[in-house]
């Protein structure tokens, strides 16, 4: 059976040859040629016959096909016009797939969910994301506060580790906080570069993000909170006090230290030592101080 699947080396080769398809490096195109990996991704993503699934960058349809077999309906966003006729051909046997020719960064995904899926249907996002644009895509999906249960993506292993990192680790940074503010993040699987055509230079990780109903901390102002977090990691080797002095240029270091004392945070610490609760406390005290 599996020899008929798109995600095999021979079938992928056959499709690429038939359409004389040339990979565009600028679009980060790497197609998966291992069915077992795809089926594992689906298991981790919790895709079942009730699920509506959004995919980003279906390529020649390897993951799309597996999603169509296991889910109720699949809606895939593809930016590369050259792939549209290929997808029409490779996915012809499946009636539960909708391909949308649009850049996901410009799409109104909430509207697409409303139009394409049943009311109250559990929606999951599952994708093999291009490395070069992983972070902007994920942050857009999270900022849009989509009505989805989870996002399971194959991304560069190092980036996956950063998004799921714990405090006091080398991977922990402002991106970690941004992702974990909206989701519970976990790297559920590592994927070797050998299962792609063409092979990328690095290994991949499968990151599963379970969407939170509410953020884990209360913040007075989200934008302000994220500015504090970003500033705290601006120069990793600098203390919090020094990094925040670059953000609050109209305050001297003594004034900054006084606000930090109110927040109960030692200004000599580094950003990577603070957990999210401490960042929220710091941001809220500074916010009140500045808006007095």
SS (H, E, C) the chain: CHHHCCCCHHHHHHHHHHCCCCCCHHHCCCEECCHHHHHHHHHHHCCCCCCEEEEECCCCCHHHHHHHHHCCEEEEECCCHHHHHHHHHHCCCCCCEEEECCCHHHCCHHHHHHHHCCCCCCEEEEEECCHHHHHHHHHHHHHCCCCCCEEEEEEEHHHHHHHCCCCCCCCCCHHHHHHHHHEEEEEEEEECHHHEECCCCCCEEEEEEEECCCCCCCCCCHHHHHHHHHHHCCCCCCCHHHHHHHHCCCCCHHHHHHHHHHHCCCCCCCHHHCCHHHHHHHHHHHHHHHCC
Confidence of residue 28 (pLDDT cuts 50, 70, 90): low
Same domain for 172 and 250? Answer: no
Same domain for 19 and 47? Answer: yes
**Residue pLDDT, tens place only, 178-232:** 999 999 999 999 999 888 888 888 899 999 999 999 999 999 999 999 999 999 9
Is 30 annotated for ligand binding? yes
Q: Does residue 119 belong to any structural domain of this protein?
A: yes
**pLDDT reported for residue 8:** 92
Q: Is the peptide bond preceding residue 25 cis, with omega within 30 degrees of 0?
A: no
CATH code for position 269:
1.10.8.100
Quote the CA–CA distance of 57 and 101 in Å, as a whole number.
10
Same domain for 277 and 164? Answer: no
Both structure tokens of 5:
């699947």
Number of domains in the chain: 2
Instruction: Mark which of 192, 211, 230 sits at the end of a domain.
Output: 211
Same domain for 115 and 152? Answer: yes
Mean pLDDT, the chain, whole residue set: 94
Same domain for 32 and 51? Answer: yes
Same domain for 122 and 233? Answer: no
Q: Does residue 7 belong to any structural domain of this protein?
A: yes
Confidence of residue 1 (pLDDT cuts 50, 70, 90): very low
Same domain for 30 and 150? Answer: yes
Q: Does residue 217 belong to any structural domain of this protein?
A: no
Quote the CA–CA distance of 138 and 144 in Å, as a whole number.
10
Is 103 annotated for ligand binding? yes
Q: Does residue 216 belong to any structural domain of this protein?
A: no
CATH code for position 100:
3.40.50.150
Same domain for 136 and 264? Answer: no
For the whole model, what pTM was predicted?
0.93
Per the structure, the complete domain to which residue 263 belongs is given by: 222-290
Same domain for 188 and 237? Answer: no
Q: Does residue 122 belong to any structural domain of this protein?
A: yes
Same domain for 184 and 133? Answer: yes
**pLDDT reported for residue 187:** 98
Quote the CA–CA distance of 199 and 252 in Å, as a whole number.
52
**Residue pLDDT, tens place only, 108-139:** 999 999 999 999 999 999 999 988 899 999 99
Same domain for 149 and 41? Answer: yes
Instruction: Mark which of 176, 211, 246 sits at the end of a domain.
Output: 211
Is 32 annotated for ligand binding? yes
Same domain for 161 and 206? Answer: yes
pLDDT at 240 over 70: yes
pLDDT at 171 over 90: yes
Tokens 């402002």, residue located: 174
Residues whose CB is less than 8 angstroms from the CB of residue 92 and which lie 6 or more positions away in sequence, other chains included: none
Is 128 annotated for ligand binding? yes
Q: Does residue 106 belong to any structural domain of this protein?
A: yes
């Amino acid at each position: 059976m599996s020899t008929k699947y798109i995600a095999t080396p021979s079938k992928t080769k056959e499709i690429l040859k038939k359409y004389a398809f040339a990979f565009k490096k600028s679009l980060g195109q790497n197609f998966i040629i291992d069915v077992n990996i795809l089926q594992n991704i689906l298991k981790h993503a919790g895709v079942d016959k009730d699920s509506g699934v959004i995919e980003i960058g279906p390529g020649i349809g390897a993951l799309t096909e597996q999603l169509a077999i296991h889910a109720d309906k699949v809606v895939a966003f593809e930016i590369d016009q050259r792939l549209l006729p290929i997808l029409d051909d490779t996915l012809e046997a499946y009636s539960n797939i909708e391909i949308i020719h649009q850049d996901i960064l410009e799409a109104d995904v909430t509207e697409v969910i409303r139009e394409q899926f049943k009311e109250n249907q559990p929606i999951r996002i599952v994708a093999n994301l291009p490395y070069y644009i992983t972070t902007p895509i994920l942050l857009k999906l999270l900022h849009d506060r989509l009505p989805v249960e989870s996002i399971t993506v194959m991304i560069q292993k190092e980036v996956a580790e950063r998004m799921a990192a714990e405090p006091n680790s080398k991977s922990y940074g402002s991106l970690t906080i941004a992702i974990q503010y909206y989701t519970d993040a976990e790297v559920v699987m590592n994927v070797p570069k050998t299962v792609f055509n063409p092979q990328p230079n690095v290994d991949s990780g499968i990151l599963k993000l379970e969407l939170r109903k509410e953020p884990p901390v209360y913040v007075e102002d989200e934008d302000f909170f994220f500015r504090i977090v970003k500033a705290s990691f601006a120069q990793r080797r600098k203390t919090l006090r020094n990094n925040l002095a670059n953000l609050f240029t109209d305050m001297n270091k003594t004034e900054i230290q006084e606000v930090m004392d109110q927040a109960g945070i030692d200004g000599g610490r580094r950003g990577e030592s603070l957990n999210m609760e401490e960042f929220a406390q710091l941001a809220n005290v500074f916010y009140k101080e500045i808006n007095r």
